[in-house]
């Protein structure tokens, strides 16, 4: 990837994270805007907007750091585990989903239902499967498991700071930009680096057939 393409990826992901976090904040942090709108205070409103946009830029940078860390881990895993690497990734996906449910439920207050934690893990898995399926369709069928690993495991690791915060405001404020930025980078990568790879099941191109008449003419020319 050239430096120009990398800068394009960085800036577009940065703007995507900042803009999306700002939009989500209107819903999940509406009380922050209500405080400056009634009574109306222009300077405080600009401050709140800049705060959430800046928070989105931070989420975007976290997403990009996770993406490049994933690329490094993926290369390392293929070199270390070789043919076992897909199975290792599936195990790590299952372990990350289990962590999202079990450890968060244990840290919650007594009497809280486990179902919200289960549905959170299921929703993350569902989004990961959709993005991984698109990635595999546009590149190679072997890309499904690595893409799912990135969308589930890496996103869960990036999401940890919000999961440790009190309340659900920052949980939703962070996960939506993270998932969007991660999916954007994953699906844009093969477009920036070149033509998508062919499917592993796609037959190899056959050499062009040479016309029989041309073969005869060549033989005659050789005899002369």
Q: Averaging pLDDT over each range in 107-121, 135-149, 153-167, 201-215, which range is the top one?
A: 135-149
Note whether residue 213 is domain-resident: no
Note whether residue 20 is domain-resident: yes
Q: Which domain holds residue 158?
A: 3-195
* Nearest CA-CA partner of 89 in 159, 147, 175, 156: 147
Note whether residue 165 is domain-resident: yes
**Number of domains the chain is built from:** 1
Strand partners for 40: 37
Q: Share the mean pLDDT of the chain.
A: 85
* pLDDT tens string 80-100: 998 999 999 999 999 999 999
Instruction: Please work out, in degrees rounded to the nearest 5, the angle formed at the alpha carbon of residue 214 by the alpha carbons of 210 and 217.
Output: 150
Note whether residue 205 is domain-resident: no
Note whether residue 99 is domain-resident: yes
Note whether residue 148 is domain-resident: yes
* pLDDT tens string 8-50: 899 999 999 999 999 999 998 888 888 888 788 888 889 999 9
- Whether the full predicted model's pTM is greater than 0.75, yes or no, is yes
- Residue that wins the pLDDT comparison between 59 and 170: 59
């Amino acid at each position: 990837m050239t430096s120009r393409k990398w800068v394009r990826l960085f800036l577009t992901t940065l703007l995507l994270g900042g803009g999306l976090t700002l939009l989500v904040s209107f819903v999940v942090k509406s009380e922050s805007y209500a405080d400056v709108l009634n009574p109306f205070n222009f300077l405080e409103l600009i401050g709140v907007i800049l705060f959430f946009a800046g928070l989105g830029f931070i989420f975007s940078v976290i997403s990009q750091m996770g993406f490049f860390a994933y690329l490094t881990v993926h290369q390392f895993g293929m070199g270390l585990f070789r043919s076992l690497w897909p199975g290792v990734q599936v195990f790590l996906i299952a372990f990350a989903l289990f962590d999202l449910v079990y450890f968060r439920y244990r840290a919650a207050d007594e009497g809280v239902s486990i179902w919200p934690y289960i549905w959170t893990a299921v929703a993350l898995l569902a989004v990961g499967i959709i993005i991984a399926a698109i990635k595999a369709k546009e590149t190679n069928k072997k890309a499904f498991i690595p893409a799912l690993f990135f969308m589930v495991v890496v996103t869960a690791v990036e999401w940890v700071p919000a999961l440790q915060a009190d309340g659900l405001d920052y949980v939703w404020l962070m996960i939506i930009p993270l998932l969007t930025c991660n999916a954007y980078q994953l699906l844009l990568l093969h477009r920036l680096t070149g033509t998508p790879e062919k499917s592993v099941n796609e037959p190899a191109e056959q050499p062009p057939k040479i016309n029989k008449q041309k073969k005869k003419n060549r033989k005659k020319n050789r005899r002369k």
